[in-house]
Amino acid sequence: MPAPVNRRTVDLSQYPDLVVVYLGMRVNRIVGLKTLIGFGPKISRSVEAQPDGLLRHENFVFSLFPMHAGMRQYWRDMSSLLAWTRSEPHRLWWKNFLRDSGGTGFWHETYPIRGGMEAIYDDIAPKIGFMSFAPIIPARGSLFTAARRSAHADTSAPVVSEDELYGNQPAPGSQQK
Confidence at residue 168, expressed as pLDDT on a 0 to 100 scale: 80
pLDDT digits (tens, 9 = 90+) for 20-53: 999 999 999 999 999 999 999 999 999 999 999 9
Tell me how crowded residue 32 is: count the other CB atoms within 10 A of its CB.
20
DSSP letter at 131 equals G
pTM of the full structure: 0.89
pLDDT digits (tens, 9 = 90+) for 77-131: 999 999 999 999 999 999 999 999 999 999 999 999 999 999 999 999 999 999 9
Helix (H) or strand (E) holding 78: helix 78-85
Confidence at residue 24, expressed as pLDDT on a 0 to 100 scale: 97
Q: Which residues pair with 58 in a beta bridge?
A: 72
Q: Residue 175 — pLDDT band, cuts 50, 70, 90?
A: low
The H-or-E segment that residue 91 falls in is: helix 90-99
Ordered domains of the chain (ranges, CATH): 19-166 (3.30.70.100)
Average pLDDT for residues 55-78, to the nearest whole number?
97
CA–CA separation, 56 and 67 (whole Å)? 24
Position with higher pLDDT, 174 vs 5: 5
* 176, pLDDT greater than 60: no
